[in-house]
Amino acid sequence: MKIVTARRISQIFFFSLFVWFCVVSTVGSKPWQIRGWPVNLFLQLDPLAAIGTILTTHTLYASLLWALPTVILTIVFGRFFCSWVCPFGSLHHFTGFLGNRNKPTPQKIQLNKYRKAQCVKYFVLIVFLAMAAFPSLGASLQIGLLDPIPLLTRSFNLLLLPVFDSSVNFVSATARFYEGAWLIFAVFLSAVLLNLIIPRFYCRFVCPLGALFGLLGRFALWRIGKNSSPCADCKLCERNCEGGCEPAGRIRISECVLCFNCLDYCRDDVIAYQTKPSSAGEVTGPDLSRRGFVLSLIGGVFAVPALRLSGKLSGNWNHKVIRPPGALAEEQFLERCIKCGQCMRICPTNVIQPAGIETGLENLWTPVLNNRIGSSGCQLNCVACGQVCPTSAIRPITLDEKLGIGKFADAGPIKLGTAFIDRNRCLPWAFGRPCIVCQENCPVSPKAIYTREDFNTIRNGLMTVKQAQGKIIETVESTMPADRFATGDYYCVFAGEKPLKITANSEDSIEIAENPAKKPTEGDTIAIQIRLQRPYIDIEKCIGCGVCEHECPVSGRKAVRVSAEGQTRSADKTFLSLKI
Amino acid sequence: MTRQNDESFGRRQFLARAAKAGISAGAAGIISYLLYDTVGPQAHHPAEDLVTLPGFSVKQQPGRTISIVKGSDRVKTVDKAIELLGGIERFVRPGETVAIKPNVAFASPPMLGATTNPQLVAEVVRLCYSRGQAKKVIVTDNPINDPASCFMLTGIGKAAEAAGAKVILPKPHLFKHTTLQGGKLIKDWPIFYEPFTKVDKLIGIAAVKDHHRSGASMSMKNWYGLLGGRRSTFHQDINTIIAELAMMVKPTLVILDGTEVMITNGPTGGSTSDLKQTNTLIASTDMVAADCYGCSLLNLKVSDLPYLTKAASTGAGITDYESLEPKLATVS
Amino acid sequence: MSIFFQELPMVSTPRRTKRLESVISFCLLAVLVLIAIGVFLKQSDFDMSRFGVYTAASGPTSQKPQTNSPEITLDALTPTGFETPSKSETYTTENLYEKIDGKAPLYLESGFRKLFAQRFVNKKDKDLWMELFLFDMGTAKNAFAVYSVQKRPDAAPLSSVEDRNGGQTMRFAYKTTNASYFAFDRYYVELVGSAQSQELLEAMLAVAGKIPSRLSVANDTEIVELRLFPQENVVAGSYKLHLTGAFGFEGLTDTFTARYMFGDNSLTAFFSRRRDTQDAHAVAESYYKFLIKNGGADKPPLNKNIEAKIVEFYGTTEIVFTTGPFIAGIHEAQSQQLAEELAVKLIDKLSEVAKAQGDDQTK
């Protein structure tokens, strides 16, 4: 069996595994649902997530330890991950193959030449690591923007899967939506299409993970190179070279992605995977200019404080950023979120959305709740998001902690924010219409929305009595729409009596439910009133789950909206209600 | 021959590389081991990270708990008031560091009476240095308005420095989280903490002011300045928070300046017509007692201010200041 | 597929794969297989409760209830000389009230699933009839609970009821003047007669005897917890299982009790198996506080070695203790000495069990 065949099988295996993990990330115990599938495996194998969080938090969180075998294997064998495991790499490899396979050989060799621009990915890596490295200046984990595993996970989960599933509705019974997916699409598509210009464009020029592997693989014990056999200089080896590392000449070890295509094409058995350096010489490290290095370092170090000058983490904090239950306080959250989108994928109600650029550059693609999207706001008895977060930016909380029961009864429930009734838009408040859908749907017990009864005289509701007999009152005016007031919400008020329910009406008479204590006489004025229950939020009980916002019938700009004040994750910054 | 040389050279190279690879791999392993964290981040500050504000009270001396001095010259009245309690030497030992916490809450000029009078601050600083032989005196507060503007416009910054004290402005890294034992509001809340870890004694100097929410703002409410975060939220339960402040802060001495009280429109006032000349200055080691006497200057009774009895019930002091045999004097 | 992936080589002779290369390739493929196996094994090891999805699992002492309550044809139970004047009735949780009105909550709270009711009338004497109430309580424990808690004060023991056909017996059975009551696996059976009559009683026993073989249950499940009570001086048939609130304290759920008589002295022993040691302590603490709050007073033990709370409660002795996941004690004892002695015996028995089973029971 040829080594390249093994590599192709490996690529197919890991790519399929990756796609499978994306498909099964649904809460449930069927074989095609999450069960115990290790859906975060690729994110855990990815050392950038581990190294990034080590820099920002000075800890290596639990399952990210899987990065250690990847690191050690890279140190010993070189950039095997890029050609054998990375699903994004496989995608680029395949697209590049499709796009360039009919080109003549000399052109292909030219496309695979090493380009100086291949050092850009190292600068990308340095900028991101520098942004993470100095917590005292403000550390921000932005590596997720270009790290291929989170990028591909995002693209699959938030874009490709919902698109493919929208017609078969297998993964999700209802179509899933993700805001700002257009930007994810644009990034993904560009990365893939650029392979038509130069194969493995992303891997060679952009990928910070490849850059990291290039640095780690400097002292690889085995590497590609020419052995001592005579070389005819036919350059066939560079025909399908994936890394752009020039094995025909002085091979650049840090660019070699161990695709073994060179070894496969050499007819004279000159190329080998050996412990000796290439007989034509090798270049071990990346070709970085000192100027470039310093500039990217400074850029990275100053980027975070510069970004934070807008005060978004203190007084000018964004109250629209409502994070999932179990999310850390904002500063700590931004130290851990790698923007992988797993929480958005698994959320059963589709309420967790990727934040767009309007919430700030640091927040791009981090999870925020949009209660208008999805099936119901944040479900009360669900803690799925924290269970799949690979870095614990969203802690894996128990249901007890979320609901504030059992051991957590003292601490109380986790609040995502507080709902605010917009009295200018709410039907019973502004338009004299009965509603209380919000109160009905409030899931906590006792409810966090309560109502106060109020009676409002309706428009044109004042009538003059012609005569009143028993339960029937005839009016001088004959303008009432027949039976309009028979819905059970309308009441009749006169002479300081309490409102009496109207059971029927014609154009010029109303029938009330009980005989009035004092009979109205001719000429008296009666008022037709509508009974309203006006909602109020009990801010001590509201957990900001957003179900009320979701259900509010004022469906554009909702009449009750959740805002992040009162969120328990940042009590000293956004505190709202005391237990009084 | 060259073949052999090549081979041994190759082997040496391989070993050198193997060593480097081994060291890198080893380093990666060791770092992973040292930083490995299975628990993950927690919701609130773990108990080990919470701090407790130190206490600064001195031994009680019966009959020398509270002194009330009448007079219009603050410098003279404060000297007398402290003298009646045993002099500054009772409170400040030679070589000690003292923190003075005046009311610098608003960027308001001294004549409007919304903040502590700067001359009063300066005099207390002077006493600490001259008679108390303090090594260092700091003057600090966490104001509501912009700190630098507050210290400047109130005149306290200049007065303190002229008297030789150092002004400490509230910087973010000086705050730490605390949970008050027995408190229900101060739970995992940031307080202005670091400067007070480096001092031996704490003196609070407050003005007597009307306050729309709590009724009055005197020596106990003065400690609101130690709260950080979005502390305005505690106004929802103002009496409990003042009582908890009295539990949390144990000062050496408080000075309550009733020379010119803000009788209306408190706590910011804004016009000299909001003030009333009452020419009284109180020094006390019992904040509750001091405030109970002080409210009479605002024509209030103890029963008008629920936080007084609440604080007394926590053991922070007693409301019946008469029973403490206050020392009285008049200074012309 | 190889055509799809390979291109036409420039040179016509393909490269000869070296043996080492093949070996390594296969080894790498073997690694992939191992990874696939690992992933596959991992996927079956899961706990849906971390997602907040709970199965129908109930509390610590009860078993999983049967998901399907089989329909039962009661006609076959008709004893000789009797007939069925009306069809058998079936009631579910929705309409149980219609049959037994105010008594429904007792059953509904105890896991009730279905009630089958059937009247049998004597062919010769129409005034001699009985009604069979067959309650499907979901689990044997639930059935035993309602059986034991409802035991009438004038209950007389019924020696084991034999199924002449199948040889099955009903362990729990008693009769009163005009009725007989049984608990068999997850069924609680009441046969209520219109009059006090020996003939009627024989007929009831005949009906009862046929039930085990007609029902699709294997054996009469033993309530094993009852063996944990010390056997000496226990009043026969006094075992009870309180699913909710024993002794008026709502924290004592799933509590077994047994009455003892030492001469003139009566006392009741009780125990309940909680989720874990922590829970046992919590319940014990609450119950102890409940006793004190309601007028109890601490008193010192006569036996210095006893590790329990002793409370004087309106002239009787209450004892509360925990061992492992059990919370247990003595209730309404007239003699403190006897109470302590029984408590020691109970502690010993429960401790043995706790140690043998390990004290963390999570499901």
- Percentage of residues in chain B having pLDDT higher than 70: 98
Residue with tokens 């601050």, as numbered in its chain:
B121
pLDDT in tens, A290-320: 888 898 888 888 888 887 877 777 777 888 9
DSSP code per residue over C59-96: -TTS-PPPS-------GGGPPTTEE-SS--EEEETTTH
- Count Cβ atoms below 10 Å from residue C218 Cβ, excluding itself: 9
B21: chain A residues, CB-CB within 8 Å: 75-76, 219-221
* Chosen from A58, A75, A387, A569 to mutate, greatest number of chain B CBs within 10 A: A75
CA distance A183 to A175: 19
**CATH number of the structural domain spanning residue B221:** 3.40.50.11440
- Percentage of residues in chain A having pLDDT higher than 70: 98
Residue of A318 and A91 predicted with greater confidence:
A91
Give me the phi and psi of B216, to 5 degrees please.
-155, 155
Is C39 within 8 Å of A264 when comparing Cβ atoms? no
DSSP code per residue over B54-79: PP------TT-SEEEEE-S-HHHHHH
Is B184 in CB contact (< 8 Å) with chain A?
yes
The reply to whether CATH 3.90.226.30 applies to domain C224-357 is no
Is A17 within 8 Å of C39 when comparing Cβ atoms? yes
Which of B54-58, B69-73, B176-180, C4-8 is least confident?
Answer: C4-8
Which of A57-61, A466-470, B114-118 is least confident?
Answer: A466-470
pLDDT of residue A236: 87
| Structural domains counted in chain B | 2
Domain of B23, in residue numbers: 1-36
Q: What is the mean pLDDT of residues B143-168?
A: 93
pLDDT in tens, A526-560: 999 999 999 999 998 999 999 999 999 998 899 99
pLDDT in tens, B241-295: 999 999 999 999 999 999 999 988 878 888 888 889 999 999 999 999 999 999 9
- A94: confidence class by pLDDT, cuts 50, 70, 90: very high
Task: Report how far Cα B50 is from the mean position of its chain's Cα atoms.
Answer: 17
CA distance A106 to A398: 61
Distance set, CA B261 to CA A322, B66, B273, B325 (Å)? 46, 19, 11, 24
- Asked if residue B78 is part of any domain, the answer here is yes
Which of A246-255, A428-437, B228-237, C3-12 is least confident?
Answer: C3-12
Residue C213, helix vs strand vs coil:
helix
State chain C's mean pLDDT as an integer: 79
pLDDT of residue C71: 59
Q: Which residues is A228 bridged to in the sheet?
A: none
- C108: confidence class by pLDDT, cuts 50, 70, 90: confident
Is A276 within 8 Å of B14 when comparing Cβ atoms? yes
Q: What is the mean pLDDT of residues A460-466?
A: 91
| Partner chains of C (3+ C-beta pairs under 8 Å) | A
pLDDT of residue B6: 66
- C73: confidence class by pLDDT, cuts 50, 70, 90: low
Buried b (16+ CB within 10 A) or exposed e, A130-154: bbbbbeeebbbbbbbbbbbbbbbbb
- Give A115: exposed, middle or buried? Use CB within 10 Å, 0-12, 13-18, 19+: middle
Which of C97-106, C122-131, C288-297 is least confident?
Answer: C97-106
pLDDT of residue C165: 45
Residue of C227 and A106 predicted with greater confidence:
A106
pLDDT of residue A290: 87
Residue B51, helix vs strand vs coil:
strand
| Partner chains of A (3+ C-beta pairs under 8 Å) | B, C
Q: What is the mean pLDDT of residues B294-311?
A: 92
Q: Is the pLDDT of residue B327 over 90?
A: yes
Q: What is the mean pLDDT of residues B15-19?
A: 87
Q: Is the pLDDT of residue B56 over 60?
A: yes
B25-84 residues touching A, CB cutoff 8 A? 25, 28-29, 31-32, 35-38, 40-44
- Does B267 share its domain with B214? yes
CATH code at C75-214: 3.40.1000
- Whether the domain at C75-214 and the domain at C224-357 fall into the same CATH topology: yes
**CATH number of the structural domain spanning residue A519:** 2.40.10
- Does B31 share its domain with B56? no
Please check whether residue B178 is in contact with residue B191, taking contact to mean a CB–CB distance below 8 angstroms.
yes
- Asked if residue A31 is part of any domain, the answer here is yes
Please check whether residue C113 is in contact with residue C138, taking contact to mean a CB–CB distance below 8 angstroms.
yes
pLDDT of residue C359: 42
- Count Cβ atoms below 10 Å from residue A486 Cβ, excluding itself: 15
Is A68 within 8 Å of B40 when comparing Cβ atoms? no
Shortest Cα distance, chain C CAs vs residue A436, angstroms: 29
| Structural domains counted in chain A | 2
CA distance A173 to C251: 43
The domain spans of chain C are: 75-214, 224-357
Shortest Cα distance, chain B CAs vs residue A288, angstroms: 21
The β-bridge relationship of strands C89-92 and C114-122 is antiparallel
Strand boundaries in A199-355, DSSP class E? 223-226, 251-252, 271-274, 282-283, 352-354
- Does B6 share its domain with B64? no
* Chosen from A45, A48, A61 to mutate, greatest number of chain B CBs within 10 A: A61
pLDDT of residue C59: 24
Is A572 within 8 Å of B189 when comparing Cβ atoms? yes
Q: Which residues is B280 bridged to in the sheet?
A: B70, B258
Of B232, B180, B184, B183, nearest in space to A575 by CA? B232
Residue A26, helix vs strand vs coil:
coil
Which of A122-131, B26-35, C14-23, C320-329 is least confident?
Answer: C14-23
CA distance A419 to A30: 36
Q: Is the dihedral of CA B220, B221, B227, B233 positive or negative?
A: positive
B175: chain A residues, CB-CB within 8 Å: none
- Does B13 share its domain with B51? no
Residue A76, helix vs strand vs coil:
helix
Shortest Cα distance, chain C CAs vs residue A411, angstroms: 19
pLDDT of residue C72: 62
- Does B98 share its domain with B3? no
pLDDT of residue A281: 82
Give me the phi and psi of A473, to 5 degrees please.
-120, 120
Q: Is chain A adjacent to chain B, meaning 3+ CB pairs within 8 angstroms?
A: yes
Give me the phi and psi of C271, to 5 degrees please.
-155, 160
Domain of A152, in residue numbers: 3-283
- Give B172: exposed, middle or buried? Use CB within 10 Å, 0-12, 13-18, 19+: exposed
Is B38 within 8 Å of A62 when comparing Cβ atoms? yes
* Chosen from C20, C24, C25, C51 to mutate, greatest number of chain A CBs within 10 A: C51
CA distance C91 to B35: 62
A266: chain C residues, CB-CB within 8 Å: 15
Q: Is the pLDDT of residue A160 over 60?
A: yes
Shortest Cα distance, chain B CAs vs residue A362, angstroms: 20
Provide the CB-side half-sphere exposure for B51 (13 A, CA): 14
Provide the CB-side half-sphere exposure for A485 (13 A, CA): 30
- Does B72 share its domain with B205? yes
- Does B245 share its domain with B161? yes
Residue with tokens 């007239």, as numbered in its chain:
C334
- Asked if residue B297 is part of any domain, the answer here is yes
Residue of C53 and C48 predicted with greater confidence:
C48
pLDDT in tens, C139-194: 888 888 888 888 887 788 776 555 444 445 677 888 888 888 888 888 888 888 88
Q: Which residues is A410 bridged to in the sheet?
A: none
Give me the phi and psi of A537, to 5 degrees please.
-95, 130
Of A535, A552, A567, the residue at which a domain comes to its end is A535
- Give C194: exposed, middle or buried? Use CB within 10 Å, 0-12, 13-18, 19+: middle
Q: Is the pLDDT of residue A424 over 90?
A: yes
CA distance C152 to C157: 11
CA distance A24 to A39: 8
Residue A572, helix vs strand vs coil:
helix
DSSP code per residue over B191-259: EE-HHHHT-SEEEEEEEEEEETTTEEE-TTGGGGGGB-SSGGGGGGGHHHHHHHHHHH---SEEEEEEE
Distance set, CA C82 to CA C163, C171, C177 (Å)? 18, 26, 20
CA distance C191 to C82: 14
Is B89 in CB contact (< 8 Å) with chain A?
no
Distance set, CA B204 to CA B173, B201, B254, B292, C298 (Å)? 23, 10, 5, 16, 49
* Chosen from C19, C25, C55, C275 to mutate, greatest number of chain A CBs within 10 A: C25
Cis peptide before A446 (omega within 30 of 0): yes
Would you state the torsion angle of the CA atoms of residues A149, A150, A153, A157, taken in this order, to the nearest 10 degrees? Answer: 180
Shortest Cα distance, chain B CAs vs residue A59, angstroms: 5
Is B31 within 8 Å of A60 when comparing Cβ atoms? yes
Shortest Cα distance, chain B CAs vs residue A456, angstroms: 32
pLDDT of residue A445: 79
- Give C355: exposed, middle or buried? Use CB within 10 Å, 0-12, 13-18, 19+: exposed
Q: What is the mean pLDDT of residues C90-98?
A: 81
- Does B166 share its domain with B218? yes
State chain A's mean pLDDT as an integer: 90
- Asked if residue A88 is part of any domain, the answer here is yes
Whole-angstrom Cα Rg for chain B = 27
pLDDT in tens, C227-242: 888 888 888 888 899 8
- Asked if residue B41 is part of any domain, the answer here is no
- Does B56 share its domain with B169? yes
Numbers of helices and strands, H then E, in chain B? 10, 12
- C5: confidence class by pLDDT, cuts 50, 70, 90: very low
- Asked if residue B113 is part of any domain, the answer here is yes
pLDDT of residue C62: 29
CA distance A336 to A366: 10
- Does B174 share its domain with B30? no
Residue of chain B with shortest Cα separation from A64:
B36
Q: Is the pLDDT of residue B110 over 80?
A: yes
The minimal CB distance from C5 to the residues A1, A8, A34 is found for: A8
Q: Which DSSP category does A211 fall into?
A: H
pLDDT of residue B231: 87
The minimal CB distance from B230 to the residues A61, A221, A574 is found for: A574
pLDDT in tens, A206-260: 999 999 999 998 888 998 988 888 888 888 889 889 999 998 888 999 999 999 9
CA distance C244 to A513: 45
The β-bridge relationship of strands B66-70 and B327-330 is parallel
Please check whether residue B261 is in contact with residue B113, taking contact to mean a CB–CB distance below 8 angstroms.
yes
DSSP code per residue over B78-109: HHHHHHHTT-HHHH--TT-EEEEEE---S---
State chain B's mean pLDDT as an integer: 91
- Asked if residue B42 is part of any domain, the answer here is no
